[in-house]
Structure formats: C-alpha cells, structure tokens
Structure 1
C-alpha cells in the first residue's frame, strides 16, 4: 500500500509538472486567421459551420478538382499541388470538420457518412455538379466513400496513402496515440508540447530533414484551434476503417492510387489492395516518400496526377 501510495503521488506530481510546463490554451479563430487564412482564403456557411475554403483557377472548368486533407491536417497540405494546377484547372480545397480553421462540427458527428455528406454539401454550395476528388489518408477515405454513396458527383478519384481498409500500422505518430487513448486525450485538451507535434510529423515523412519550423508551426497552431483537440478524439472514436470496404470493388470511376514507399502509418500493401479491388485503377509508388507524399514532394506527385486527369 505504501508503494502504491508513493506511485500515485509520483504520477500526480508528474502530471502537475507537465501541466505547468506544457499548458497550451486554445487559440481562437480570430487569433489564427491573419497567419493561416490570408487571401484567397474565405469562409462559407455550410452545415452550420464557417468552413475555411480556397477556390482558385478558372470558374468555367466543367470538372473541378477537389482536394481533401487528412487527420490533423488542413487545406494548406495541398499548396504545392494547387500552385501547379490552378493556372488551367479550378481547384477547390477546404478544412474538413474537426480540423484546420473550420473546427468542430456543431453536432459532433464525425462518421464517414457525415464526412461524405459534408463533401456533397460543399459541392452544392459551390454549384459543382461533378468533380475529381483527391484525398490523402482520412481525406482519401472520405473521397472514395463519397464516390460509393454519391457516385453521380464524382468523375475521377485520386487516393493518396488512403485509409478505409482495416490495417495495422508499423509505427503510429505519438499525437495520434495520445488522441486515441482515454484519459490521455483529456489531458491533451490542456497540455500539448510542440515537440509532440513535431515528432508526429517526423513519423509521417520519408525524409524528415525537409521539415521546416513553419511547417511544425502550422500543424501546432491548427491543432490548438479552439475545439479541435476535443474533436480529434471524437474523430478517432467515430471514423473507423472498415465500413463500406466491401463496396470498394464496385467503384466505377477511373482511380489513381499514389503511395509513399516509406509510409509506416498505412503500409504500402494497402495501396496494392486498393489497386486489386478497384477495376479501373493504376498504382504509383514513390519509394522514398512517407505518408504525405503530396506534401513532401508536391511537384513529383502532382505530375503523375496531371497525367492521370489528362488521360
């Protein structure tokens, strides 16, 4: 009992020290806007949220490109792709619910069906009848689930290190582990070392040497946007891979699958699985890249995407 008492005391003292040293209050939307939402950012009211949106390129594009980011990311992850595409194509990207400057959903619903419904609501708001959906990780899951549930709204798919099948990670970012662990995720609502965010990004890159201070700042700032830490825990609880996986083989849209050969979160074998299941698909693996190949090597990966949509 004495040992147990001392152990509890040590845990309590450690927790107090962590809270004192790494306390991180939420940052308000207004506080974050000047740095992370300059022009051409705008905010549109969709499903009761002020959605952070960038809509660039020619408005007469009959088949706009919609880029969907993954967990704990934001529309900024597609900056490199957008720079190459927007001169000739309409490129739409936005922060999906629970992340970025959009923040939490008012109904706290983060099921895959809810995300697919959100994508269609955004297309409706922007008067887009049909478009090319490209998504990374959770964003890829949202993209192909939208194609399954609302096939008439999707002309082509690009899936980048995509979730959706059950999988076993080779390595999971520490931030994801904490957000997915009861008690710890409650602590994370108030305590968030910047080093944890940086470590999580390092885990996702094939070449961590190219990670910049500004990149870590962006992920850190948008993680502590008011409400996002609570929403992240709910997203992990509600959006599990598996639902609709039996429908993947029925996807009729031409599909490009891009994967980083060094992805330790969703192993490249999953890319092979998607390729085998989707009838009209092609798979391109970048051996040296990690879980975010579009962010890590935007020019190399977008060129493959441009070839695909042009065909």
Structure 2
C-alpha cells in the first residue's frame, strides 16, 4: 500500500514534469520496472561516471559539476525513482535490489557496460548493492556521506521524524510537507551560515513542477534491510565525508570500512552533507585522482 500510494501521489502532482525533459537535448526518460527515470547523458569520452543527486537535490543542482567532468568522462546523471522527476512504479519499495536494478536499467538503456558510480548518502547503498551483484559492471565507487548500513539505521532513528518511518502515514506526511521538509533539511545538512539560495531555488522550482521527494519511501525501504544485507565489497572505493554535516555529527564515517575495508575516506572538514555541490572543483579533482588510479 505504501509504495502504491507514493506512485499515485507523485503522478498526481507531476503535471509539469515533461517540460523538464523536453527542454534539454541531452535529457531522456528511461522506462524501468522501478519507474520512469529521468536521465541526463552529457556524453563525453569514456570511461563513464554516473552521478545520482541526493534528494531534495535534482539533476539541475549538478549542472556545474557535470560541466567539470563531462570533458573527461561520459557523464550520466539521473534522479533515482521517487526523487526529482523520476516517478516510482507502484511496486517500487526502495529496496537495495530494486535500487541496484534501476541503476543497471539506466546503464542498459544507454548501452553502457561498465561505470564508476558516484552516489551519496542513502543512494550509496544502492551503489554498494550494484557492486555486490555485478562487480564486472561497477568499475569503482565514489561515495559521499555513506556510512555502514547499521550506522545509517541509527542515523534514521535519531534524525528522521517517527511518522515518516510508518508505512502509509509516512508517505502522506512526506508528500504533504515535501516543501517544508526540503527547506528544513538544507538548514540541518549545510554548515551554519551557508547561503542556501542555490539549493532552495532549484529544489523549490523542481517541486513546483511536480518533482518527487519520497523521503518516507527510502527511509522505510532501508530500514527493512537487514544489517547483513550489505556484504563486504571488493570494488575500488573512495568516500568523501563532510565534517560540518550536523545531521551526521554522531555518525562514524569509518563505519563504511565494515563493508568496504579498503575504502579511502577523505574528509572535507569545511563541508556539510553535500561536498560534491559545496566544493565542486575540489570534489572533481579528487574524483579525477580516483579515476586515474584505476587499472
């Protein structure tokens, strides 16, 4: 019922969605069992780097970072189902397997065999599951603010209001208060004193045109996963951790080593929850260093 409700609510509010696809030549829709996924394929040479926004951020937040990377890589950016302009299917429950399958559906639709996944926060777990299930297709992982799943469960219980953790009630609350929730999230996730205009303008514009922010769905989906669901991954991995993210003050960044023991954890001490957007030049330079080390 909860996933069906999310699907119905997002479709009801998505009246302006197609304009967000038609206005950009590199933008397209990929139909998947997970939903209708909005994808920006900026082209460029190989290898491929796939970036996924961390809601309420959307593809438009990544225009500058995409430009920094598109000269060297085939840069693909897409909204996960239930976020941005990607509408979830009635059966999409934000499970690890479904999220990973959505990633491969996008790669398959674009004819991409192998890619580096540059995902952040909760989306990082879908990247980890993709690397588990098809290591031959995931060249490397470049994560942001993704701890262990057990640490993420603890973060959810500390940070996410309890109604969002309740199926159906959470979906209704998340949809009704999506604009308020996005505003409140930026206030917590960004360092104190940060000018939030860039973030708020793009997210509010997207929400006004029917963008999704299925926060309850992803919270409930990850809470359903057992701690053991994310097994040890051998894929090359770097994680960037923003030290001024007040939502994660009690989270141990090194907990990621529970499932990726070899991960290289880089601290951006002056950043909050979005180091890739707060310091895009530094982030892009580090990503290029990461890519240069790959065999």
1:127 matched residue in structure 2: 111
Secondary structure of the structure 2 residue equivalent to 1:288 = coil
Q: Distance between the aligned counterparts of 2:217 and 2:230, measured in 1?
A: 25
Q: Is the 8 A contact 2:15 2:210 kept in 1?
A: no
Distance 1:49 1:287, change over 3 A: same
1:66 equivalenced with 2:47 (yes/no): no
1:107 equivalenced with 2:91 (yes/no): yes
Distance 1:209 1:172, change over 3 A: farther
2:285 matched residue in structure 1: 303
2:150 matched residue in structure 1: 166
Identify the range of structure 1 (131-140 vs 63-72) with the bigger mean alpha-carbon deviation: 63-72
Distance 1:204 1:237, change over 3 A: same
1:209 matched residue in structure 2: 194
Unaligned runs of 5+ in 1: 1-23
CA drift at 1:264: 2.9
Aligned match for 1:91, one of 72, 75, 82: 75
Rg larger in structure: 1
Secondary structure of the structure 1 residue equivalent to 2:119 = strand
CA RMSD of aligned residues (A): 3.3
Secondary structure of the structure 1 residue equivalent to 2:291 = helix
Q: Distance between the aligned counterparts of 2:32 and 2:212, measured in 1?
A: 18
Q: Is the 8 A contact 1:81 1:298 kept in 2?
A: yes
Aligned match for 1:256, one of 238, 245, 248: 238
CA drift at 1:247: 4.8
Report the TM-score, using the length of structure 2 for normalisation: 0.81
Q: Distance between the aligned counterparts of 1:288 and 1:165, measured in 2?
A: 25
Give CA deviations for 1:239-274 in whole Å, capped at 9, x if unaligned.
Answer: 22864657543x222111110012233447532122
1:150 matched residue in structure 2: 134
1:41 equivalenced with 2:27 (yes/no): yes
2:268 matched residue in structure 1: 286
Distance 1:296 1:205, change over 3 A: same
Q: Is the 8 A contact 2:21 2:38 kept in 1?
A: no
1:29 equivalenced with 2:14 (yes/no): yes
Q: Distance between the aligned counterparts of 2:230 and 2:10, measured in 1?
A: 42
Report the TM-score, using the length of structure 1 for normalisation: 0.77
Unaligned runs of 5+ in 2: 1-8
CA drift at 1:66: 0.8
Give CA deviations for 1:19-43 in whole Å, capped at 9, x if unaligned.
Answer: xxxxx99874341444686313222
2:3 matched residue in structure 1: none
